[in-house]
Amino acid sequence: MSSILHDLNAEQRAAVLHPGGPLLLLAGAGSGKTRVITRRIAHLMLERGVDPLHVIAITFTNKAAREMRDRVMQLVPRSDLWVSTFHSAAARILRREATALGLSPDFTIYDTYDRGQCLKTVIRELELDESKYKAGPIGHRISSRKNRGLAPGERDLEEIHDETFLKIERAYAERMAKSAALDFDDLLLKLLEIFEKHKDVGEKYARRFEHVLVDEYQDTNAVQYRITKHLAAVHRNLTVCGDPDQSIYGWRGADLRNILDFERDFAPATVLRLEQNYRSTKNILDAAQAVIEHNTLRKQKNLKTEAAPGAKLIEMESIDELDEAHGIVRKIRELGRGPGGGRAYRANEIAIFYRANFLQRALEKALRDAGVPYRIAAGLEFFERREIKDVLAYLRLLANPRDDVSFERIVNVPSRGIGDATVYKLREEAQRLGLPLLETMSRSHVRAGFPAKARSSMEQFLRIVDDLRQFVDGPAELALQAVLDATKYVEYCGDLEDGGDEERVSNVRELVASAAEYDAREPQGFVRGYLSEVSLVSDTDRLEEGVERVTLMTLHSAKGLEFPAVFIAGLEEGLMPHRRAVEERAGGEGLEEERRLLYVGITRARERLFLSYARYRSQFGIYGTGDSERGGRSRFLDEIPPALLLREHRERLPEREAWEESQEREEAPSVSRSISTPSASYAPKAASSSTGGSTKTAGGLGPGDVVVHAHFGVGKIVEITGAGPNAKAVVQFRGAGTKQLLLQYANLEKVSQTP
């Protein structure tokens, strides 16, 4: 008992020793909630004598589940612990109980890419316009409906008049059933279906799990809430841990009411607040608390710390996104040298967060140009790479011969002479016979209808699949190696003419190593268990530890992580809070979730925090066409007490100074770079003359003027032509060269000239 409780504070001890019944842990950021949950699990087993098989702990990422499991095993070395994500737990139960739903236990789990491929086939078979009905948006829409618990084709107010979408959704569900495949959302829906329609199965698991613990409860959606309620129905020993102030996934179905209404839903319930923060300095915590207190949809708690105040937060104002990126790089270099005589920060101790992915582009370029190593979390993930999906598709087809998506992926990989025309004809035959593609190809009378060359290639593929079947019920490493040997996939990587062969071969070898690691950890999991695990890997699960690189990621991806030094870029109205999020969610809920998102970003920082915004920012890579965003400084920055901030405002762009100075030497009169905050728009009226390029517009611009453009930066006007809405300026920019811009949309701001 002493080893379980010795380093816990009073509130943490109370949570670990809670006698039973519903318990809500309101756990603030950095309050040691993982420690509390793992110690409670250990206490239940060691002090209460609860069998590990009768405890289930659920969280949201594989990384968090592994950490939780490892911590428990340090105290209770049992390999039969149920510590997993919602989706992993669902897959595990469904493998055992699938027959109750008429589902094959060998079902394949489709990721987002596979879902898209399946939807493309459905849209093609329905003879719909593929340019109008795109698989990506339709897949997201289907996922959103599933998270709300809607069945395929079931109407709600949003889809009541959208017959074509409902038709696609029903056809998608039918094709998934034929392929014995489930997407991520299906895993939860099918588990809920078993619990609700097969009471005996539901009661079996409710009786089995005497204690149910759910982490990150504020992120649960309607389906996860109902699953949790079923699991805790008999014993009612439900412990949930979460923070309403960190609920940031409403856009994908998370329902904040699940945690706000816990005391009503599971009355009588005990509520304990974990408010002692062990992560951040006092200044960072005070800033976070000041921001989040502007929200109304929350449960009151006050983060506190025994840490020193620490450095003040730095508010960085920049002229544009390029200036912002270079300013952040300069600060990173300062951190590396040890600012103010303090400690030096390594690259892997620094992270840059942003609200939208497009902000990443300028940051990447500045880091690259400066030679600062970096990595992008949620870039092209390991298990999304071409070579990894190819090799795993062989295993998936072996485990589930009805998996048409995997069949189509590897039937001609490596190339064996089975072209698109052959696959198209085979698909037609499969549809006519009502069979999966592999079984259709296996029919000799079907192959007889193909030319001799195609027939020979199909028979070669069938032999490979048949030879590999023996490995499906054995270790994953052995099966993967057999696939590589039978297909000569490593040699195939070397034959690809894109220069990526070495990286591909390295990735394939890493895949085999990951299978070996899985076999050692789960000796009875075999191929199917390994496939389930790799199918459910999330964006940050493979974020390598200790790599000497600055980390770039979205604020949503940053949840659950922490770094000694954090930069948050793009803190402008329209970006943070994001305009669309505020507009699409009524009643202020969108604005409050945006504030929670910033709160999450702030509380990821342990020691240093930099808050950055730009006066000008261009989006979508199209400039001079009215897309320059001028939202101004985020309202959220005004919610941070000024005493916690050091403001750094910039009037020059140092990376452009040498060019500007050379321009100044050529100009008369001289130029000072005092730029005022621009108005919302600039719409020139008529030029004083429409015949030449030597006059000024009504907006005061003319040849020789030095101007700032939101993307191209500082430049000098060479010529003005046209009049009214057709007025154009030819501007010579440094680096970007000469550009002709329509003044009505270019939003040029003149730099003041002095005689």
SS3 329: helix
Q: Which of 320, 316, 359 is nearest to 708 (CA)?
A: 320
Distance (Å, rounded) from C-alpha 188 to C-alpha 573? 37
Nearest to 577 by CA among 291, 351, 243, 362: 291
Could you confirm whether 163 is annotated as catalytic?
no
Q: Which candidate, 745, 677, 673, places its Cα nearest to that of 715?
A: 673
Element holding 731 (H helix, E strand) = strand 728-733
Evaluate whether 449 touches 428 at the Cβ level (below 8 Å). no
User: Which residue out of 604, 630, 656, 728 is catalytically annotated?
Assistant: 604
Yes or no: say if 656 and 714 are a contact pair by the CB < 8 Å rule: yes
User: Of the candidates 184, 97, 68, 180, which has an alpha carbon nearest to the alpha carbon of residue 536?
Assistant: 184
Active site residue 604: yes
Active site residue 215: yes
* Max Cα–Cα distance, the chain, nearest Å: 93
CA angle, 120 then 122 then 123, to 5° = 65
Among 315, 319, 314, residue whose Cα is nearest residue 651: 319
DSSP strands (E only) in 447-533: none
- Six-digit token string for 493: 């990587």
Residue 734 near residue 697, CB atoms below 8 Å: no
**Rounded Cα distance, 560 and 63, in Å:** 10
What residues contact residue 287 under an 8 Å CB cut-off, 6+ apart? 313, 602, 609, 640, 641, 644, 645
Catalytic residue among 34, 164, 276, 695: 34
750 an active-site residue? Answer: no
| Of 11, 33, 218, 447, catalytic | 33
In sequence order, which ranges of 345-385 are alpha helices (DSSP H)? 360-370
**Cβ(45)–Cβ(76) under 8 Å?**
yes
Backbone angles phi, psi at 134, to 5 degrees: -95, 140
> Helices 163-178 and 135-147 sit at what angle, rounded to 10 degrees?
80
What CA–CA distance (Å, rounded) separates 607 from 285? 10
Phi, psi of 315 (to 5 degrees): -95, 120
User: Which position among 85, 239, 246, 360 bears the catalytic label?
Assistant: 246
Alpha-carbon distances of 602 from 313, 335, 477, 552, 556, rounded to whole Å: 10, 18, 42, 15, 12
Active site residue 61: no
CA 553, CA 67: separation in Å to the nearest integer?
21
Question: Quick check: helix, strand or coil at residue 377?
Answer: coil
**Cα angle 112-114-118, degrees, rounded to a multiple of 5:** 115
Q: Of 11, 106, 186, 216, which residue is the catalytic one? A: 216
Whether residue 499 contacts residue 444, with contact meaning beta carbons closer than 8 Å, is answered with: no
| 637 vs 648: CA distance, rounded Å | 13
Question: Distance between the two ends of the chain, CA-based, in angstroms?
Answer: 81
Tell me which amino acid residue 48 is. Answer: R
CB 156, CB 150: distance < 8 Å: yes
Please indicate whether residue 289 is annotated as part of the active site.
no
What is the Cα–Cα distance from 134 to 177, expressed in whole angstroms? 21
Catalytic positions are: 33-34, 215-216, 246, 604
